[in-house]
Amino acid sequence: MKAVVCHGPRDYRLEEVPVPRPGPGEVLVRVHLAGVCASDGKAWDGAPKIWGTNDGQGRYIEPPVIVGHEFVAQVVAFGEGAEGRDGLAIGDYVCSEQIVPCQDCLYCKEGLYWLCEPHDIYGFHQRTPGSWAEYMVFPRKALNYKLPAGMDPDHGVFVEPLGCAVHTINRAEIRFNDVVVIAGCGSLGLGMVAAAKMKSPKTIVALDLHPARLELARKCGADITINPRDEDAVTKVKEMTGGYGCDVYIEATGAPRAVTQGLDMIRKRGRFIEFSVFRDLVTADWSIIGDTKELDIKGVHLSPHAYDTAIRMIAEGRLPMDEIITHKLPLEDYEQGIQMVIDGSASLKVTLRP
């Protein structure tokens, strides 16, 4: 089968490799559509935060490995004893959570499976080859989900990113009276807008530098959109909150400036939710967090307990999926896909069709 194999930064190759065989408890699937994530762009580019050395977080990439953690696929075969697991049948369209938890480490035993120490994520570690290939295997400990009948299978490729957006909103613990600012309306930020809408806060404010993305943010449920290129976002948010600032600020841009902007526009005792992976170190006035505003700062990683909600949101048509999935390229054009994601100006969700 064809597969994109990562050998190192900027050294990805389209190769012919054997179709994997499902072992006991495993499921063989044919990849229907695979996503290109911002983290794929950063990994390709050699971002030290993703490659690094093993920093104890288990985040490093382990080449050679087949790339890709976003996908929708179709069940092809079951390994020994796997028939019918997770309610799956041959031909079903399925997703699988990007992390395959070990169920044995400190975090797994505490129920925090998405922080699992070995951290086997599809497309990063050799134990979990990824989705930029014609076939892949869901391991025995994988967390699998069947897509509902009637849902466009192509839309299933957005379940993983939308799951991350749902987890972000769960972390924000939004209340009815909150003014929620979501900085960054890439595909993840748009998912956060749609998920925040389901929590019914007073006002959802979306920030982005691209007018077309702000238009989509309105379709996803944003009440107010601000382009920081045209107007001062901090001043505007303070004006609409009687000078206090927003209750919740969600950072989903990956730009250091969006962090300091958030610290400036958030109210005292506000909740600052950090989602992004940054290419560069971020410098901020740390005193704002304690002495000035007594903020709650929360980080977000992956999409635990969020796939069911993400699948339901797509099935219910809560997002304009056909406008969010902007590109469906043949697998062979993966380098073009990576470049589009790195550039970011003319695409939202870029996908690959094996």
Single out the residue of 67, 48, 71, 100 nearest to residue 277, CA to CA. Answer: 48
- 350 near Zn ion, rule: CB under 5 A: no
Alpha helices in 207-324 (DSSP H): 211-220, 233-239, 256-265, 307-315, 321-324
Nearer to Zn ion, 122 or 272 (CB): 122
Taking the C-alpha atoms of residue 122 and residue 212, their distance in angstroms, rounded to an integer, is 32
Interface residue with Zn ion, options 105, 198, 209, 329 (CB under 5 A): 105
By CB under 5 A, name the one of 108, 265, 302, 348 that touches Zn ion: 108
**Closer by beta carbon to Zn ion, 78 or else 132:** 132
Q: Stretches 98-106, 128-136, 292-300, 311-319: which one binds Zn ion (CB under 5 A)?
A: 98-106
# residues near Zn ion by CB under 5 A: 6
Q: Which amino acid is at 199?
A: K
Exposure string over 90-114, b if 16+ CB within 10 A, otherwise e: eebbbbbbbbbbbeebebbeeeebb
State yes or no: residue 329 binds Zn ion (CB under 5 A).
Answer: no
Taking a C-beta distance cutoff of 8 angstroms, is the pair 311, 320 a contact?
no
Nearer of residues 179 and 352 to Zn ion, judged by Cβ:
352
Counting contacts by CB under 5 A, is residue 277 touching Zn ion?
no
Determine which residue in the list 4, 33, 36, 37 makes contact with Zn ion, applying CB under 5 A.
37
Instruction: State which residue, 50 or 108, has the beta carbon closest to Zn ion.
Output: 108
Nearer to Zn ion, 14 or 105 (CB): 105
Instruction: Kindly tell me which of 114 and 249 has the beta carbon lying closer to Zn ion.
Output: 114
CB of 38 to Zn ion, least distance (A): 7
The DSSP output letter for 15 is: E
Between residues 101 and 262, which has the closer beta carbon with respect to Zn ion? 101
Contacts 24+ apart (CB under 8 A), 208-215: 208/184, 210/185, 210/345, 213/185, 213/186, 213/189, 213/348, 214/185
Stretch that binds Zn ion, among 2-10, 106-114, 195-203, 226-234 (CB under 5 A): 106-114
Output the smallest distance, CB 75 to Zn ion, in A: 22
Asked if 168 and 275 touch (Cβ cutoff 8 Å), the reply is: yes
Which range touches Zn ion (CB under 5 A), out of 30-38, 209-217, 256-264, 309-317?
30-38
Q: Binding of Zn ion at residue 47 (CB under 5 A)?
A: no
Asked if 159 is part of the footprint of Zn ion (rule: CB under 5 A), the reply reads no
Sign of CA dihedral 345, 323, 301, 6: negative
**Distance, C-alpha 295 to centroid of its chain:** 25
166 binds Zn ion (CB under 5 A): no
99 touches 113 (CB < 8 A)? yes
Binding to Zn ion by residue 198, rule CB under 5 A?
no
Q: Does 265 bind Zn ion (CB under 5 A)?
A: no
Q: What is the dihedral of CA 159, 165, 170, 173, to 10 degrees?
A: -150
Tell me which stretch binds Zn ion (CB under 5 A): 15-23, 56-64, 103-111, 327-335.
103-111
Binding site for Zn ion (CB under 5 A): 37, 101-102, 105, 108, 116
